[in-house]
Amino acid sequence: MRTGLGVTGALLGLALAGTAHLDREVDVAQGVSRAFEEVSERIAPSVVRIESARRLDVGVRPLGEGSGFVLDEAGLIVTNAHVVDGADAIRVQLLDGRALDADLVGKDTESDLAVLCVEADGLVAAPLRLDEPARVGEWVIAVGNPLGLGHSVSAGIVSGRGRTANITTYEDFIQTDAAINPGNSGGPLVDLQGRIVGVNTAVADIRMGGQGIGFAIPASMVSEVTAQLARWGEVRRGYVGVNLRELRESELGGLDYSGPSRVAVRSVVRGGPAEAAGLEPGDLVTRVNDRPVTTVQSLMAVIASYAPGTEVQLEVRRDRSEKAVAVKLGERPRPK
C-alpha cells in the first residue's frame, strides 16, 4: 500500500511539474503576443496609406497605392520612390481617416526613397533605429497597405543583412520573412520597441522561386537619403569616376593578395576624379579612409556617403604592393 502511494505521489508530482512547465510556456507566449499587440498599437498612428495619380485632360488616372510613415510632426512622410513615380497628384490617408493632399519634396530613384510633405495637426512621428543595425534573427513587423487592405500588420524575423537584389543602384537590403505584398512598399519594418529598422521595398521574384523573402532599406540609409531630400530635394553623392568589377578567387593570386576585398577598377572615366588622381585599370581597392570595402556595392555606398568635393584616401593593391591614392570626389551625375 505504501509503495502504491509512493508511485501515485510521484506521478502526481510529475503532473504538477508538467502543468507548471506548460504554464511558463503559456506565459512566454502571451508575453510575446502582448509585445506584438503593443508595438502594433504604438506604430499605427505613424503609418499612412498613399495613393498616387496623374492628372490628364480628361480626368485623373490612378497609378497605384503604397504605404509610408510620418518622419516628423512637421509633416514629412517617407515612402518608396516607385510608389510616387510619375505622379502629380498624391493623397495620404492617416489612421484616423483624414485624407490629405501631399507635395513631393524630393525622390531618389537610386535608393528608391522619396519624401512627401503634408499639412496637418496631430501627426505622430515614428523613430528610426540608428544606434544599431537590424540583427539577424530578431522579431520584426511589417506595417502598411498590402493589396489595398488598409492598415495591416505581419510578423517575422530578420533573415539576413547586406543583401542585393538588382532592384536599385544602391542596395544594402535587410531580408525578412515578414509577409510583404504589393501595397506594402514604403511602409516601415519595425522592431518590438516600435523603432523603424527599415523601409519595405520589394519581394523576391516568385518566378525565380522566391517565396517568403522580402527586402527593406536599412534605417541608416533611410536617414542619410531623406535628410538630403528634405534639405535639397535631391541627393548629392560623391563620385570617383570609375567602372568596377568583382574579381574571382583565381584572379587574386596574381596580385599576391589574401584580404577580403574583391573590388577592382575595370576602367577609368576620362576627365573624371579618378583619372586626375592616378587610379588605373586593374587597381584593387581595399579601403577608403580606413573603411574596409569588400564588394562593389560596399565601395559605392562608402563613396556615396561623402559629399562632393571631399578628398578621400583610397588604398589600392597594384603590382603586388599597396599604394595610397588621394582622390577629390566629384558629384555623381543624376540618373536621366
Catalytic residues: 82, 112, 185
Task: Cell numbers for 331, please give them.
Answer: 558629384
CA 62 → CA 82, 110, 307, 312, distances in Å? 14, 24, 37, 46
Q: CA-CA distance, 327 to 6, in Å (whole number)?
A: 84
Q: CA-CA distance, 108 to 285, in Å (whole number)?
A: 27
CB 49 within 8 A of CB 93: yes
CB 161 within 8 A of CB 140: no
CB 275 within 8 A of CB 269: yes
Closest CA to 331 of 235, 258, 253: 235
Can you say whether the dihedral through the CA atoms of 234, 240, 245, 248 is positive or negative? Answer: negative
Closest CA to 124 of 152, 96, 101: 96
Q: Where do we find the cell 580606413?
A: 290
Task: Cell numbers for 113, please give them.
Answer: 526613397
Task: Cell numbers for 4, please give them.
Answer: 502504491
Angle at 215 between CA 166 and CA 42, to 5 degrees: 155
3-class DSSP assignment, residue 147 = helix
Q: How many CB atoms lie within 10 A of CB 216?
A: 28
CB 168 within 8 A of CB 105: no
CB 326 within 8 A of CB 311: yes
Q: CA-CA distance, 40 to 65, in Å (whole number)?
A: 21
